[in-house]
Chain A
Amino acid sequence: MPESTLEAIKETMVDIFDIDDDVAIGPDTSAADIEEWDSLSHIRLIVALERHFGIKFKNAEVEGLKNVGDLVAVIDAKTGGGNA
C-alpha cells in the first residue's frame, strides 16, 4: 500500500526533530507543539520533504506553512493527489 503524504511527513519529521516514533502528528500539529521546530530546523525539514517528494517549494509557501495540515495541502497540490 502506498504511504500517505501525512505518513511521509511524519517519517521525515522523526528524522529531523528529536521526537519519538510513536509521537502523535496530525494536521493540527504546529511549531508550537514541537519544541525544535524553528526557522533553522524548518529549512532542513522543507528540503528533506522536497527531496522525498521530488518537488520544490516557493519562498512564499515556505513562509506561509503554519502546521502539518498546510504541508500536506501544499505537497498534495504539487504531486497532484491526496493519496499518491
Chain B
Amino acid sequence: MLFSSFPFIFGFLPLALLLTYGAGRWSRVAAKLVLTLLSLGFYAWWRPIYLPLLIGSILFNYFVGAQIQRAYASDHGGKVKWWLIFGLVVDVSLLGWFKYANFFADNLHILFGGFDLPKVILPLAISFFTFQKIAYLVDSAQGDAKPMSLLDFALFASFFPQLISGPIVHYKEMVPQIQGRPFARWIPRNMMIGLVMFSIGLFKKAVIADTFALQVNPLYAEATKVGAMGFVAAWAAALTYMLQLYFDFSGYSDMAIGLARMLGIKLPLNFHSPLRAGSIIEFWRRWHMTLQRFLTAYVFQPIALPLTRLAARRDYGMTASTLAGVVAPTVTTFLISGFWHGAGWTFIVWGLMHAVYVTTNELWRGRRNRRRRALRKLKKPVPEPQRAEILFFHLLTLFVVIVAEVMFRAHTVSDALTIWKGMAGTQGWINSADVPNISFWLWLTILPGAAVIFLMPNTQQIMGRFDPAYNWRDWKDTARAPLHWTWRPNFLGIVFAGVTLFIGVMFVQRGQAVFLYFNF
C-alpha cells in the first residue's frame, strides 16, 4: 500500500489512527498490539507470502538481541561477540540470498556457464528492515539497547510509517517513545503537526516527483532504444531524474515522519536540503541521512580508525596515510552503499564515483587547511572564500551529483554512457529522435522544481516551531533557505495545509508511481 494512494489515505490511515487511539484509551499494551497487527497487515497487503519472512526476522532478532543483552549485562564479552556475529551472519545472508543470488549466478554464468538460478524475487523492504535489525544487534552489543517485551520489539521492528523505506531508526530513538506514558494518548497537537508534514510530503511526491517521472521514463527509455542522445535531451534526462529522485524520496520521508508523528512518535530526519550543500561531504551528511550514519558507524569508522592508527604509529608519509585512512574506508563504504541499493554494475560504478568525489573533497580540504594554518602561524591574514567562489562550490557539488545519478538511474552502464556522451555534446545539439520528448512543458516543470529546492525552506524548517523530528535540534541552524517562512496554526497556516493536502490528493487521482526506494 503506497502512502500516496487512496486506499491508504482514506482507508488504512484513518482506521489505524482510530483503532490505535481507541485501544489507547483502554490500555497502552492494547494500543501497541493493535498498531503492530496493523503494521504487519500493511506489509502483507503488498505480497502476503513474504509476511512470514518479516515475522521470522522479528522473532529471530528478538531472540538473538536478548541473548546479547543478557551476555552484556553479565559481562560475558566473548558471548556478546559470538551471538552478535551469529546474528549478523544470518541477517546478512538472508539479505544476500534475496537480493544478490541472481546477480552472482548471472555473472558466474557469463564467466563459466552453468549456475542457472530461477529468478529470486526481492521481498519488499528487506534492505531496510535488515539494516534496522543489524543496528539493533550492534546497539545491544554496546549496551545501548535494553531488554524489552516481544510486543515492544515487534512494534519497533514493524512500525508501518518507517517499515518499507526508512528512516532507519535505532533502539534509543524509538523504543523509549513507545514505552513512554504519552504513547497512544490522544494529543491533538501531534495530529496537527503530523498531518501538515504528511501533506507537504504528499505534495512533493504526487504533484512534483510523479510529474517528473512522466518525463524521466521516456527519456531514459530512449537512451536504451536509440543508443544516442542530443545535448538537450541528455541534460533534460539528467536534471529531471535528479529532481524526481529528491522529491520522491524526501517526500516519502516527510510522509513517514508525519505519519509517525500522528501516532505520537518522532522519527529522525532523512533529508536536510542536500542539494543546497556546498561540498560533496556536506551533501552526504544531508542526503539519506539515516542510511549514511549507519554506513559511517558500521563500515567507515571500523575500517578508518585502525588504519589511521596504523598510519600514525608507523609514521607513514602523506600518500600512504591518505590511502589507509581516507581512500580505503571511503571506497569500501560507498561500494557497500552502491551494492545495498541494488545488485548491478550501475550501482557499483555509482558508488565508486561518489567515493572518488568524497576522497577528492577530503584531500582538497586537507591541502587548503594546511595552507591556511601556515598563514595563521605567520600572523598573515587568512582569506575567506568570496561569494563567487562559494557559488562555484555549490554548482560543482550539484554538477557531480547530477552526473553520478545518471548512472544510478540507468538500466545498464552503457545507457548511462549514452546519456553522459549526450551531456558532453558529442552527439549533437538535438537529435531528431529527441524532439517529441522535449516539450515546453518539461522546461516549465524544471524551473519551479529547482526554485523550490534552492529558495524554499524544507519541510522541517517550515515546521521548525514544533520540534518536527527526533534530531531536529542538531539541524535547526543548518542550511537556512533564502525564503524564510514557518508554519503556524493560524488562518494562513490552515489554508496552506488544506490547499497542499487537497492538491496532493487530487494528483493522486492521476495515478501514482511506486516510490523509487521501494526497489531497494
Query: Which A positions have Cβ atoms within 8 angstroms of B?
Result: 15, 17-18, 20-21, 30, 32, 36, 38-40, 43-44, 46-48, 50-51, 57, 59-60, 62-63
Contacts and interface: CB of A to CB of B under 8 A. Distances in A.
A62 B304 CA distance: 12
A43 B302 contact: no
Describe A's contact surface by its main secondary structure: helix
Interface residues of B, number: 30
Contacts of A59: 301-302, 305
Contacts of A63: 297, 301
Given A32-B474, A32-B478, A40 B326 contact: yes
Contacts of A47: 305, 308-309, 312, 325
B308 A60 contact: no
Interface of B: 142-143, 281-282, 285, 296-297, 300-302, 304-305, 308-309, 312, 325-326, 330, 358, 362, 365, 368-369, 372-373, 376, 474-475, 477-478
A40 B279 CA distance: 13
Contacts of B372: 18
B477 A32 contact: yes
A62 B369 contact: no
Contact of B376 (A21, A36, A50, A60): A21
B367 to A, nearest CB: 11
A62 B312 contact: no
A15 B143 CA distance: 33
A62 B298 CA distance: 12
A32 B476 CA distance: 10
B304 A43 contact: yes
B362 A40 contact: yes
A60 B142 contact: yes
Contact of B308 (A20, A38, A39, A44): A44
Nearest to A60: B142
B297 A51 contact: no
Given A43-B301, A47-B305, 20 more contacts: A15-B373, A30-B474, A32-B474, A32-B478, A38-B282, A39-B296, A40-B304, A40-B330, A40-B358, A43-B325, A44-B325, A47-B309, A47-B325, A48-B312, A50-B309, A57-B305, A59-B302, A59-B305, A62-B305, A63-B297
Contacts of B285: 38
